[in-house]
Amino acid sequence: QVQLVESGGGLVQAGGSLRLSCAASGRTFSSYAMGWFRQAPGKEREFVAAISWSGGSIYLADSVKGRFTISRDNAKNTVYLQMNSLKPEDTAVYYCAARNSKVAVTTFRYDYWGQGTQVTVSS
């Protein structure tokens, strides 16, 4: 069982930056692939970024490539999403997710989810 708690969301102007953190409980965090997803009002939850247990494989949605980076610190049981050059269309609730298997980019492959953190980008 893994519990995930996101933090770092907030209100930022377009062009600004935020760093989201996802703290995980459990001693086996280092064996889990981790992902970030987001959901805007009235839209389906969509993939943003994912990282393998070792950090050796990273995937990013086309819409965030060049602006967002994902990383993890297994010693701290934490995964990060650094978001730069934010745009109003990045406004959403951002969710952290974990799966005890290979890294994946689809929501249904993840077993554990955090409660989400709101990111609002003003124009």
Q: Using one digit for the tens of pLDDT, what is the confidence trace for 46-100?
A: 999 999 999 999 999 999 999 999 999 999 999 999 999 999 999 999 999 999 9
C-alpha pair distances (Å), 91 with each of 2, 68, 102: 27, 14, 28
Q: What is the mean pLDDT of residues 9-22?
A: 98
In this predicted structure, the answer to whether residue 27 has a pLDDT above a threshold of 90 is no
In this prediction, residue 92 carries a pLDDT of: 98
Strands (E), 14-116: 18-24, 33-39, 46-51, 58-60, 68-73, 78-83, 92-99, 112-113
Question: Among residues 2, 22, 18, 5, which one has the least CA distance to residue 92?
Answer: 18
- Average pLDDT taken over every residue of the chain: 96
In this predicted structure, the answer to whether residue 26 has a pLDDT above a threshold of 80 is no
Tell me the percentage of the chain whose pLDDT exceeds 90. Answer: 93
> Could you give the 3-state DSSP secondary structure of residue 93?
strand
Question: Among residues 63, 4, 66, which one has the least CA distance to residue 38?
Answer: 63
In this prediction, residue 29 carries a pLDDT of: 84
CB-CB neighbours of 6 under 10 Å:
22
In this prediction, residue 30 carries a pLDDT of: 85
